[in-house]
């Protein structure tokens, strides 16, 4: 894959683009969203770029999806008292802008009836 075809997340994983990293292990990286939609807005990203969205990930590697959810829970415990929204956007019409599967962990005083906007 040419450098200009790699996603921003692939470049963050490679250390080519800085990020405010809050979690990093052999399978996942998590960092603060640069355009937060909630007091706590973290992105959890598998280090493989094989899957474009959550449905591809769920069909091909449910164990990796379970690991992603586990990391999301751990981060929510650490950053927002364990209460959070876990959001996956699938497709451009849903708001997905980076086609490397990732989860949004939103927390910190969200109100019912909102999608996370402050």
pTM: 0.91
Task: Give 88-107 pLDDT, tens digit per residue.
Answer: 999 999 999 999 999 999 99
d(CA 44, CA 12): 12
Other Cβ atoms closer than 10 A to 11: 13
DSSP string for residues in 47-111: S--S-SSHHHHHHH-HHHHHHHHHHHHHHHHHHHTT--EEE---SGGGT--S-S--EEEEESSPP
CATH topology of domain 3-107: HIT family, subunit A (3.30.428)
d(CA 86, CA 107): 9
Q: Specify which residues 21 forms β-bridges with.
A: 31
Task: Give 33-86 pLDDT, tens digit per residue.
Answer: 999 999 999 999 999 999 999 999 999 999 999 999 999 999 999 999 999 999
d(CA 60, CA 8): 23
Active site residues per annotation = 102
């Amino acid at each position: 894959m040419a450098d200009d075809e790699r996603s921003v997340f692939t470049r963050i994983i490679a250390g080519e683009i800085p990020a405010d990293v809050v979690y990093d292990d052999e399978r996942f990286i998590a960092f603060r969203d640069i355009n937060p939609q909630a007091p706590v807005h973290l992105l959890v990203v598998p280090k493989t770029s094989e899957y474009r969205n959550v449905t591809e990930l769920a069909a091909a590697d449910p164990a990796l999806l379970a690991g992603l959810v586990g990391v999301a829970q751990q981060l929510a415990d650490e950053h927002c008292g364990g209460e959070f929204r876990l959001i996956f956007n699938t497709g451009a019409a849903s708001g997905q802008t980076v086609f490397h599967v990732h989860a949004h962990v939103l927390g910190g005083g969200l109100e019912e009836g909102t999608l996370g906007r402050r």
